Amino acid sequence: MRILEDLNEEQREAVLYDKGPILVLAGAGTGKTRVLTYKIAYFILKGVPPEKILALTFTNKASEEMLERVRNLVGEKSLRMFIGTFHSFCLRILRNELSKVGRSSNFIVYDEEDQLACIKEVIKELGLDRIISSPRNILYLIERAKDSLIDPESYLLHSKAKFDYYREEVAKVYKAYQDYLKRMNAFDFGDLIMEVVKLFKERNEILKKYEDNFDWILVDEYQDTNYAQYILLKMLARKKRKIFVVGDEDQAIYAWRGATIQNILKFEREWEGCKVVKLEKNYRSTERILFHASKLISHNISRYSKNLYSVKGGGYPVIFRRFPSCEDEGRGVCLEILKLVNEGYNFEDIAVFYRTNAQSRIIEEMMRRYNINYEIVGSVSFYERKEIKDIISYLVVIAEPKQDMHLLRIINIPSRGIGKTTVERLKKFAGEKGTSIYEFIKNDELNFLKKGTRKSLKDFVNLIERLRGIEKEVSVSELVKELVKEIKYFEYLDSIEKEGVSFRKDNVGEFISSCVEFEENNEIVDLREFLNYLSLITPYDEYKREGGRVTLMTLHLAKGLEFKVVFITGLEEGILPYRDALYDPEELEEERRLFYVGMTRAKERLYLSCVYSRMLYGTPRFLDVSRFIEEAEIEVDYDRYRAHN
């Protein structure tokens, strides 16, 4: 088969094996995506029907890249298979099957901002706002519970068994939050997988349908799976045992969002007769970069033994510098960048990584001072910008008018003279009637309000009804254009903001372009599908490298990327490794993996730095050099340090 000629020996072994479960341990830069895409192409060319192949990833961007690569290998046949994220796959199952268990399949998926607003509302309704000071922390605990398939009732039992009063209060919020979602006919991100697992457990015929449907299940980045995803895969693959997973335990860096490294470490034991293939031939980094990265990660205990080697040869030395202060560190990074550009590198070839978002401030200031164009990844999401959230909220209300949170966001956008007092009264009276605010207004139960306010509210409902009337007849992009025109949104933006208004208008235009793009890439397009697509977008999906700009990002966002030149800043004890991990062996191993991920993003040059003194919470602190520098067998380059000062 001709495509096999493009693979090295280990890659070919992984692609050709088709007897049963297989674990591919793909070290950094060893061609993980190539193996996955060629495996799919191999199956299709061998005669496996594409619709019998399921490929699961963690980001839409990874799915799109994989689909494009498979398409280049086998043509249009690839369009008949499912390549997507765990969440989009589960979303599809719920859409198809929920009606069979008495639930509506026309649900809305809440994004993080919706979830947080909902949690705040629930805490207030329960009278717990004096006890619970951080709704975001409550949301985090609920999300982790869902990752572990723990429902509100089980969460409460666990909390009582441990005499944990705070967690008992969290359980109350969790229960009320789930009740609210059900009333709103909504799910959140965590529900998508949890509900499918629940569906499979309760309705064996539905599980059997999906078990039988797939001859092969392929999973990317298996080290990032959580318990819920692990159970989902076991249920789907238990019968045919045709499961192919690719991952690297040395790049497991998402425990804080529910991922468990144990899934990949115990895979071989759990799937009897499992074949393990190691990919160790690195095509990305130089030998020197790999040497130090390998020395570092060898200090971890929870890992498979791997010996990465580079096809690129020795390369430049890895440079480590210690600066007096954060300002000096930022200046040193900028001066080195300017020097690299003079040597022939472009700004887009270069990335600066840091452990926490707070570290970016000084680096940004220095970039501006030295006139270096840069972009920060993961700061404000495009879809979180005010003008985009306004449009999305309108679309949600058009699709599902009883979504009170979204309705309240846009009920006075543009201004209709509807103030906070009116909103609170609407919430109160609608709640007493047990109906949504939209239905309450529509039923004309507004005699307690002034005539002008009643008219404004009725005009608002009439607007939504008009748009609901055309929703099924026009494309999503046409609907957005009509909405923007109907509410005179650009005029509204002019009225509230003089500076930057053109950028906001451009963003609305870009949003309409995203609607068109979605329509072109999907056969079945309706408003709910588009809204669900938006809710599943992550910061990883939004990143597109721009020409002429240095990339600034946290180490967690850097996974999966590569740059010719990488700077990793803040290599001090308490920063990297982070202070919370210093006395916890498992967390310390995760911090070490995080640094390893950062190092292995570099293709040609790697610069590391730390400071003697860092300002933390307004107080200068003297910090030791990160233990990771010694573990990676890197020496301080004092000569280069003095050259900058």
Which domain CATH number covers 139?
1.10.10
Structural domain boundaries enclosing 71: 2-92+195-279
430 and 478 share a domain? Answer: yes
Per residue in 75-131, pLDDT tens?
888 888 899 999 999 999 998 998 877 778 788 899 888 899 899 989 988 888 777
132 in helix, strand or coil?
coil
pLDDT band at 641 (very low <50, low <70, confident <90, very high): very low
- Examine the domain organization and report whether 406 and 474 are in the same domain: yes
Is the pLDDT at 305 greater than 70? The verdict is yes
Segment holding 568, helix H or strand E: strand 563-568
Q: For the stretch 452-462, what's the b/e string if a residue is b when 16 or more beta carbons lie within 10 angstroms of its beta carbon?
A: ebbebbeebbe
Residues 86 and 145 grouped into a single domain: no
Q: Using DSSP bridges, classify how beta strands 309-310 and 108-110 pair: parallel, antiparallel or unpaired.
A: unpaired
CATH code of the domain containing 318: 3.40.50.300
Q: Which residues are catalytic?
A: 32-33, 220-221, 251, 601
Given 153, 184, 215, the domain boundary residue is 184
| One domain for residues 234 and 358 | no
Q: Are residues 471 and 557 in the same domain?
A: no
- Asked if 314 contacts 286 with a C-beta cutoff of 8 angstroms, the reply is yes
Shared domain for 462 and 417, answered yes or no, is yes
The yes-or-no verdict on residue 642 having pLDDT over 70 is no
Average pLDDT, integer, range 614-622: 78
Residue 417 has pLDDT above 70, yes or no: yes
Q: Which of 162, 184, 206 is the last residue of a domain?
A: 184
| 613 shares a domain with 521 | no
Same domain, 333 and 404: no
Residue 243 inside a domain? The answer is yes
Query: What number is the average pLDDT over the span 410-437?
Result: 87
Residue 634 phi/psi, 5-degree rounding, is -110, 135
- The verdict on 426 and 367 lying in the same domain is no
In this prediction, residue 394 has a pLDDT band, given cuts at 50, 70 and 90, of very high
Domain boundary among 500, 535, 570: 535
b/e code 507-544 from CB counts within 10 Å (16+ = b) = bbeebbebbeebeeeeeebebbbbbbbbbbbbbbbebe
* Integer Cα distance of 63 and 407 in angstroms: 33
pLDDT at 456 over 80: yes
Q: What is the pLDDT of residue 105?
A: 78
Q: pLDDT (tens digit, 9 = 90+) per residue, 312-344? A: 989 999 999 999 999 999 999 999 999 999 999
Residue 607 covered by a domain:
yes
On the question of pLDDT at 502 being above 80, the answer is: no
CATH code: domain of residue 529: 1.10.486.10
What is the per-residue pLDDT for 643? 41
Cβ neighbours of residue 223 under 8 Å, at least 6 residues apart? 247, 248, 249, 251, 252, 259, 261, 263, 264
Rounded-to-10 torsion of CA 550, 556, 559, 562: 20
Confidence of residue 353 (pLDDT cuts 50, 70, 90): very high
Please check whether residues 174 and 213 belong to one and the same domain.
Answer: no
Tell me whether residue 229 is in a domain.
Answer: yes
Is pLDDT of 542 > 70? no
Enter the tokens of residue 241: 């045992």
Q: Which residues pair with 574 in a beta bridge?
A: 578
Q: What's the number of domains the chain is made of?
A: 4
Q: Residue 84 falls within a domain, yes or no?
A: yes
Q: Each residue of 508-517: pLDDT tens digit?
A: 888 888 888 8
Mean pLDDT, residues 23-27 taken together = 96
Banded pLDDT at 269 (limits 50, 70, 90): very high
Q: In the 8-state DSSP scheme, what is residue 594?
A: H
Cβ–Cβ contacts within 10 Å for residue 319, how many? Answer: 18
Is 300 a domain residue? Answer: no
The pLDDT assigned to 248 comes to: 96
Task: Judge if 23 and 156 occupy the same domain.
Answer: no
The answer to the question of residue 560 being in a domain is yes
DSSP output for 425-481 = HHHHHHHHHTS-HHHHHHTT--TTS-HHHHHHHHHHHHHHHHHHHHHTTS-HHHHHH
Residue 510 lies in a domain: yes
Regarding whether 170 and 231 lie in a shared domain, the answer is: no
Q: Residue 637 — pLDDT band, cuts 50, 70, 90? A: low
Task: Report if residue 642 sits inside a domain.
Answer: no
Percent with pLDDT over 70 in the chain: 95
